[in-house]
Amino acid sequence: MNGTEAARAAGRVYIDKQSPKAYHALSATAEAVRTVAAEAGLDRVLVELVNLRVSQINGCAFCLDVHTRAALRVGETTQRLGVLAAWRDTEVFDARERAALGLAEATTAPADAALQEDAYASARATLSDEEISAVIWVALTMNAFNRVSIMSKHPVRAAPRH
Q: Where are the domains of the chain?
A: 20-149
What pLDDT is attached to residue 160? 83
What pLDDT is attached to residue 55? 98
In the chain, which stretches have pLDDT less than 70?
Answer: 1-10
pTM of the model: 0.91
- HSE-CB of 126 using CA atoms within 13 angstroms: 18
What pLDDT is attached to residue 120? 95
For the structural domain made of 20-149, what CATH number should be given? 1.20.1290.10
List own/partner pairs for 62-68 with CB under 8 A and 24 or more apart: 62/149, 62/150, 62/154, 62/155, 62/156, 63/142, 63/145, 63/146, 63/149, 64/156, 65/156
Contact 145, 63 (CB under 8 A): yes
What is the C-alpha to C-alpha distance for residues 37 and 122, in angstroms, rounded to an integer? Answer: 19
